[in-house]
Chain A
Amino acid sequence: MVVTIKLNSELKRYDPSRKGIIKLEVDDGWTIRQVLEKTGIIRGETEFMILNSKIVNEEEILKDGDIIHLYPVAGGG
């Protein structure tokens, strides 16, 4: 199945084109954690993972066509 990762802000560096979009062919039943491992995104660098308009965690199991939005740890001040 194919899932899409939409990267925001500093996380865009994981996309060589810097557009912030990575499409991945993964096995059925994969979790977000497995997807992060495959793309090399550092664990814990992401503050919010959003899937289907819900905040989810890395154990979330993905379906074909899912779009995961990732936002890095930021800080106010």
Chain B
Amino acid sequence: MPYGYMGKIIRVNLTKGTIGIEEPGELFYRTYIGGKGFIAHYLLNEVPADVDPLGEDNKLFFMTGIMTGIPAAGMPRFVVGAKSPLTGGFGQSEAGGFWGPELKKAGYDGLIIEGRSAKPVYIYVKDENIELKSAEHLWGMETGDCQETIREENGDNNIRVAQIGPGGERLIKYACIISELKHANGRNGLGTVMGSKNLKAIAVRGSNSIPYANEAKIKEIGKKFLDMYMQHPLSRGLYEYGTSSTVKNMNAAGILPTRNFMFGEFEGAEKISGDALNETMLKERKGCYACAIRCKRVVEVKDENITVDPKYGGPEYETLAVFGSLCQVDDLKIIAKANELCNRYSIDTMSMGNAIVFAMECVNLGILNKDDFDGLDVSFGNKDIILPMIEKIAKREGIGDILAEGTVIAAKRIGKGSEKVLLTIKNQELGMHDPRGKAGVGMGYAISETGAEHMLAAHDTAFTQKGIAFDALQPFGILEPLDSHDLSPKKVRMFMYLQYWWSFFNMAGLCYFGPAPRGSMPVNDIIELLKAATGWEVSLWEVMKAGERSINMSRAYNIRAGFTKDDDMLPEKFFEPLQNGIQKGTSIDKSEFERAISTYYSMMGWDSEGIPTEGKLLELNLDWIKL
């Protein structure tokens, strides 16, 4: 009998209307763990890297992890994957919330979605009953109405719904998947793939328990965390501020992305800060399944001219920065509304904000003008255009139809030198972290299998000195703090080990706010929990190797998709100096950065072109991957 996982994966073929159940066996689970490990396995084996991402032959995967649903803090996550329509390569994006644990309670670890339905449908999983249901009446609905309708028509208010809104239906290239109206599998355009398959939603309801090998041990570790988390500063801060306190931090450190990364300091930062959010619009602190930290914000605005509906949650740091400082907009209510609209329409806030700022930069350089925007003055700092631009893009109206394709394709269509404005890596827009002040994050951006991604490993700035965060790294043998600008082999090693650990989070279903070093649950307690859940005699070494395995698998898929060493590079902007703030004049030395990437390849057991060697693939039990 499996422990920690359910042992079953659903396979739905939307073209044929068939539903099947597969049982991949224990070796599969122990080798690939879940999340992107499963996704990479299926992509490499079943989805040729040259398929049209929005064609019938692409497949969409919803995968939990081996620890998803353990009743302890930070273990709610699931991962959606496919060949990405935004990047053209390995696509995956995580979300927290409740959907993943609910799927496991229904008896399944994941779903594989194949083909394309002739008409809109949704999948309803209720324990052993799995149905394809018509979604013709749901097509066109915003996420709020859709969730309510699905719950009503199935007579159950506790159904968990992962779905797309009009953004996914209209194939906005960076449409996301929304669950509980506020948890997003945000990046890589996976909602677009869902839209291309005419799949509106996957609704789940489960009444089983997840079996564990040692229930008592799980309760013991869970209770230990509950007893200490409010005393632990790294958890308590998340409860008080969520991710919003990052605005002030980055601004003070001179690396808050401002005016399309020209500046690192924004004069309006205080107005869009965590303090401002807490004081003016915070309604509730909410969390994910079984997690006491409650880092999610719920905001409400009831002004005469602007309202923000709390059922769509509230903005995270990335959203605050991308619609705020990046656009030089200091109006928190507009940012909160932008967040609400993106959640209603199921569009990634990060790529949406980047699309708007790309347009602002084009206007600034005279590449585009008011006429291109039907009279809107799309200038830096003009808060009044944020919401109209979101509507234009979401509805594909006017130039919004071009910006809906992602900034790389938009630049190709616009021409006139707009390509030089692009801040993308592997075709995906950046997160809100400036690599000029966080060199390891810059490495992550460049190396990431999913295009610019800020969540590849822990951020440098928390590990520049000894103390509660840094000291938690000892189980990895990381013993020396390093400057946040450091790109020496020591930094590469720190980055690589943390990337393994972070990859394991993704595969296991863990949120990085639960475990150390960013969270407060010690590394070795996570391993004890994994042992208690599965009954396996597992070690930190084994899970680090699992993380490394998934990195190599997703790398292999991207190599097949045509990505090369040249794609592991930052935009030129970051080799130019910051133009204000306390890090004014700071830039990354390009040759030093290139050297760090080469060192990383070498440490990873990849050749000088960044291709995993045969020996590395054999060591990781990936002999079935042919490159």
Closest to B254 in A: A55
How many chain A residues touch B (CB < 8 A): the figure is 24
**For residues 42 through 62 of chain A, which have their beta carbon under 8 Å from a beta carbon of chain B?**
42-48, 50, 53-55, 57-58
**What's the Cα separation between A75 and B246 when bound, in Å?**
6
Q: Mark B437-469, 1 if CB is under 8 A from A, else 0.
A: 000000000000000001100010110111111
Cβ distance B318 to chain A, nearest Cβ, rounded Å: 6
Closest to A71 in B: B249
Q: Is B3 engaged at the interface, CB distance under 8 Å to the other chain?
A: no
Cβ distance A71 to chain B, nearest Cβ, rounded Å: 5
Interface residues on B, range: 35 or more
Q: Mark B233-251, 1 if CB is under 8 A from A, else 0.
A: 1101110110101101100
With a cutoff of 8 Å between Cβ atoms, the chain A residues found around residue B243 in the complex are 74-77
With a cutoff of 8 Å between Cβ atoms, the chain A residues found around residue B248 in the complex are 8-9, 71
**What's the Cα separation between A13 and B471 when bound, in Å?**
23
Closest to B318 in A: A76
A47 touches B461 (CB 8 A): yes
**For residues 15 through 72 of chain A, which have their beta carbon under 8 Å from a beta carbon of chain B?**
42-48, 50, 53-55, 57-58, 69, 71-72
Closest to A53 in B: B582
**Which single member of A71, A73, A76 contacts B252 (CB below 8 Å)?**
A71
**What's the Cα separation between A77 and B65 when bound, in Å?**
20
With a cutoff of 8 Å between Cβ atoms, the chain B residues found around residue A55 in the complex are 253-254, 582-583
B467 touches A42 (CB 8 A): yes
**Which single member of A57, A69, A77 contacts B317 (CB below 8 Å)?**
A77
Cβ distance B124 to chain A, nearest Cβ, rounded Å: 30
**Which single member of B238, B245, B465 contacts A57 (CB below 8 Å)?**
B465
**Which single member of B246, B254, B274 contacts A76 (CB below 8 Å)?**
B246
Given A48-B252, A72-B245, A75-B243, also A57-B467 (CB < 8 A): no
**For residues 398 through 440 of chain B, which have their beta carbon under 8 Å from a beta carbon of chain A?**
431-433
A43-B466, A73-B237, A74-B317 known; 19 other A-B pairs, CB under 8 Å?
A9-B237, A10-B236, A10-B240, A43-B467, A45-B233, A48-B461, A53-B582, A54-B582, A55-B583, A57-B465, A69-B252, A71-B249, A72-B237, A72-B249, A75-B518, A76-B432, A76-B454, A77-B318, A77-B513
Give me 22 A-to-B residue pairs in the complex whose CB atoms sit less than 8 angstroms apart, sorted by A's number: A8-B252, A9-B248, A9-B274, A10-B236, A10-B240, A43-B468, A44-B470, A44-B471, A47-B461, A55-B254, A55-B582, A69-B252, A74-B243, A74-B249, A74-B317, A75-B512, A75-B518, A76-B431, A76-B454, A76-B459, A77-B316, A77-B318
